[in-house]
Amino acid sequence: MRKVVFIISCLSLIILSSCHKKKLTEVVEVPLPAKEEKMTIGSPDEVKAEPGAFELVKLPYKYDGCAPNIDPMTMELHYSRIYLNYTNNLNKALAGAENESEPIEDLLKKLDMTDVELRNNMGGYYNHSLYWEIIGGKGGKPADTLASSIDKTFGSFDNFKKQFTASANKQIGSGWAWLVVNKKGELLITSSNNNDNPIMKHQLISGTPILALDVWEHAYYLNNQNKRGKYIDAFFNVLNWKKVGEKYEALIKK
């Protein structure tokens, strides 16, 4: 018995020391960027989805359009890789389906929530499309009808911002924070997991979003590391309230 224990101890020592050696080697092998190596930022106009039912929302600004609040590298990775990927995957999944050409909102309402992959890609496409549309602005405050509705619903703009920020901060792990208009035309703040949104079935609050905040780490990690609060403040600095207001007015007129 003792002999067995001795052999096992020796074996673990050998394994441990070989792991240790491997780790050291890996650290040395990591290539350090040469001084002249520069990351180049492309243009959003160069990015195209593969042919299919849905196209990428065109950015009305360049990747540096939200800098320094949201850094150009994050914008490029987010738009040209993550968003593009959701769009291509959604198009692939819908290709040939009879409802392929229906509006995205109708597809989201009818979506089979047990289809995990389609749910992720359809949500990923819709949520990001809205996110791109409502940033790139100068922050500040909403105006006109939306401003008075926010005051009436939340007491003041500052209260709204506080409640929205709390909702975005409270979301555990990846997800989204929303300002939505429900069937009665009321404004509500909510959040969702992963790429779910308030148009889909089985959500805490149902409604049509007019404002979307991506709180996945890929949306802020490069510039803010794990400090989501800093990113939420930055997001408010680049919000395009005019666009959000237009979306609100179009919905309440319906």
Helices 144-154 and 241-253 pack at an angle, to 10 degrees, of 80
Is 133 a binding residue for Mn ion by CB under 5 A? The answer is no
Q: Least Å distance between CB 26 and Mn ion?
A: 30
Q: Least Å distance between CB 128 and Mn ion?
A: 6
Q: With respect to Mn ion, which residue has the nearer C-beta, 78 or 150?
A: 78
Q: Least Å distance between CB 220 and Mn ion?
A: 10
In the shown chain, the binding pattern of residues 183 to 222 toward Mn ion, with x for contact by CB under 5 A and - for none, equals: -------------------------------x-x--x---
For residues 13 and 211, give the distance between their C-alpha atoms in angstroms, rounded to a whole number.
56
For residues 211 and 71, give the distance between their C-alpha atoms in angstroms, rounded to a whole number.
20
In the shown chain, the binding pattern of residues 215 to 254 toward Mn ion, with x for contact by CB under 5 A and - for none, equals: -x--x-----------------------------------
Q: With respect to Mn ion, which residue has the nearer C-beta, 136 or 245?
A: 136
For residues 182 and 199, give the distance between their C-alpha atoms in angstroms, rounded to a whole number.
10
Q: With respect to Mn ion, which residue has the nearer C-beta, 77 or 252?
A: 77
For residues 66 and 169, give the distance between their C-alpha atoms in angstroms, rounded to a whole number.
21
For residues 181 and 114, give the distance between their C-alpha atoms in angstroms, rounded to a whole number.
26
**By CB under 5 A, how many residues form the interface with Mn ion?**
3
For residues 254 and 246, give the distance between their C-alpha atoms in angstroms, rounded to a whole number.
13
Q: Least Å distance between CB 60 and Mn ion?
A: 18
Q: Least Å distance between CB 72 and Mn ion?
A: 16
Distance of CA 227 to the CA centre of its chain: 15
How does DSSP assign 93-124, residue by residue? HHTT-TTTTS-HHHHHHH--TT-HHHHHHHHH
Q: With respect to Mn ion, which residue has the nearer C-beta, 216 or 248?
A: 216
Q: With respect to Mn ion, which residue has the nearer C-beta, 149 or 191?
A: 191
Among 127, 106, 109, smallest CA distance to 206 is for 109
Q: With respect to Mn ion, which residue has the nearer C-beta, 133 or 245?
A: 133
Binding site for Mn ion (CB under 5 A): 214, 216, 219
